[in-house]
Amino acid sequence: MRKRDLVTVAGAVIVRQRPSTANDVVFITMEDETGYSNFIVMPDVFDKFRSTIVSSDFLPIRGIAEEGGMIKGLYFEPISTFVTKIGSHDFQ
């Protein structure tokens, strides 16, 4: 992944942070089968997708790669409803 590449990542939300010192920027850490991904969510994007960002356990995020492996999130879509419909395959 190079700087300015458009990327889409889907995974489980591990942490959402909105530090008071970050000027309303939200930071999200997600996990998928390849490891952890870190996302920067600017205030205008957070306001647009607020309910999805704060209520979804799983998210696909489309964004632009930044330096240091961070991704600036541009678009969010809830997928937790699909995951709960699938359910787990537990041993009996």
- pTM value is 0.73
Residue spans per domain, the chain: 6-75
Identify the pLDDT of residue 11.
87
Domain covering 6-75 assigned CATH 3.40.50.10070 in the classification: no
Q: What is the DSSP string of the chain?
A: --TT-EEEEEEEEEEEE--GGGTT-EEEEEEETTEEEEEEE-HHHHHHHHHHHHH-SEEEEEEEE-GGG-EEEEEE---HHHHHHH------
Q: For the chain, 92 residues long, give each residue's pLDDT as a single digit of tens.
A: 777 888 888 888 899 999 999 899 999 998 888 888 888 888 988 898 888 888 888 888 888 888 777 677 666 655 544 455 545 555 55
Identify the pLDDT of residue 82.
47
Identify the pLDDT of residue 8.
82
Tokens of 51: 């309910």
Instruction: Return d(Cα 24, Cα 18) in angstroms, integer.
Output: 6
